[in-house]
Amino acid sequence: MKYIHEFQDPGLARRLLDDIARTATRPWALMEVCGGQTHSIIRHGIDQLLPDSIELIHGPGCPVCVTPLEVIDKALEIASRPDVIFCSFGDMLRVPGSDRDLFRVKSDGGDVRVVYSPLDALRIAQENPERQVVFFGVGFETTAPAIAMTAHQAVRLGIRNFSLLVSHVRVPPAIEAIMRSPDCRVQAFLAAGHVCSVMGTGEYPRLAETHEVPIVVTGFEPLDILEGIRRAVRQLERGEHRVENAYPRAVLPQGNPTALRVLGEVFRTTDRAWRGIGVIPDSGWRLSDAYRDFDAEHRFDVTGLTTEEPAVCRSGEVLQGLIKPIECPAFDVACTPRTPLGATMVSSEGACAAYYLYRRLTTPRTEEKASVD
């Protein structure tokens, strides 16, 4: 656990914590939406520094983690084909499918390549006109503009051997689904600053008003998170429920007009399945009709592939904030970073990975042990 003296500004951290403690007169449960925020909270021990009355619930804000098993299996099917060069960000390679991952496909002879930008994959397609090149497009609103611009470039340059396997998801519909769940205990949200830097804050006032929850747009540094918590607790104590921007150095209310323009050209909203959660209406993006020829699901005819989630992995409950990773019987037993059962243990933003890195040796865990066939 990190201590206050290790924060960038220990004095400010202490003042924020004191203000939160003075303000909170009753228990409150807040959800941080983004997995990057979760890692910052666990790494720096922010949840342990807060007064006992403030509970932080980890949300589904890791795009790798919420990518459904059937999409992973579609990626594995496409990547296994001899005429395909399959490109992906590195954090997707160890996400388990039904019986293997992309690393296994690569070791079995598949041409699987790690790239740092979708434009790298487009360049590979230009250099290999005799091969089909597929980029695995996974992410929230933050990475979607780069994917959209790459599709736009493919059309402009006339590159026909390039396609996208798209599994992009949107944050506001996920907040809506969480609030409509009968098991929901969330009373306020820390919204992801990087998402709002792209999309703006226009979709959040309706959510705050409809569900009577404060929504505070928050950054990722420890002091950003403490300031977001302070503002959310202040609203809760006053009985308010509105949107506040605690990350003005990066977020404008209107978002990024250029990014929004290209997103509107290339994508259309669609219902999307979230791993361990289920289908959330209008929570994803698909390629628009004008870009359908670049849709890898249709190009390689894998649209009908369906799978079921393994019962032993409780990542769905972790993603909904119903349990902490340490409460899963498989945690650090059947499920470790070397033998992951779900993406929440693999991803650099996964809650299970955060607890494994920073809490597994210091947090009491259930005596129940998991077994797998």
Distance from the Cα of residue 81 to its chain's centroid: 28
Give 5's pLDDT tier (boundaries 50, 70, 90): low
Contact 327, 57 (CB under 8 A): no
State residue 4's pLDDT score: 59
Pairing of β 243-245 and β 215-218:
parallel
Q: In the predicted model, is pLDDT for residue 344 greater than 50? A: yes
Tell me if residue 183 falls in helix, strand or coil: coil
Contact 189, 213 (CB under 8 A): yes
- CB atoms inside a 10 Å sphere around CB 180: 11
Q: Measured at the alpha carbon of residue 157, what is the angle toward residues 152 and 158, in degrees to the nearest 5?
A: 95
**Using CA atoms, how far apart are residues 356 and 322, in angstroms rounded to an integer?**
18
Mean pLDDT of 220-244: 97
Give 185's pLDDT tier (boundaries 50, 70, 90): very high
Contact 63, 139 (CB under 8 A): yes
State residue 117's pLDDT score: 95
Q: In the predicted model, is pLDDT for residue 352 greater than 50? A: yes
State residue 109's pLDDT score: 96
Give 360's pLDDT tier (boundaries 50, 70, 90): confident
> What is the set of domains in the chain, with CATH numbers?
4-62+186-245 (3.40.50.11750), 65-170+255-299 (3.40.50.11740), 315-358 (no CATH)
**Using CA atoms, how far apart are residues 60 and 148, in angstroms rounded to an integer?**
23
| Percent of the chain's residues with pLDDT above 90 | 74
Q: In the predicted model, is pLDDT for residue 369 greater than 70? A: no
**Using CA atoms, how far apart are residues 127 and 130, in angstroms rounded to an integer?**
9
| Tokens representing residue 164 in the block | 């996208």
- CB atoms inside a 10 Å sphere around CB 58: 30
Q: In the predicted model, is pLDDT for residue 121 greater than 50? A: yes
**Using CA atoms, how far apart are residues 350 and 353, in angstroms rounded to an integer?**
5
Mean pLDDT of 325-348: 89
Q: Annotate 87-114 with b (16+ C-beta within 10 A) or e (fewer).
A: bbbebbbbbbbeeebbebbbeeebbbbe
Higher pLDDT, 359 or 287: 287
Mean pLDDT of 334-349: 87
Tell me if residue 30 falls in helix, strand or coil: strand
Mean pLDDT of 36-48: 93
pTM of the model: 0.89
Q: In the predicted model, is pLDDT for residue 371 greater than 60? A: no
Question: What is the DSSP-derived secondary structure letter of residue 8?
Answer: S
Q: What distance separates the 2 farthest-apart alpha carbons in the chain? A: 67
Nearby residues of 6 by Cβ (< 8 Å), 6 or more positions away: 44
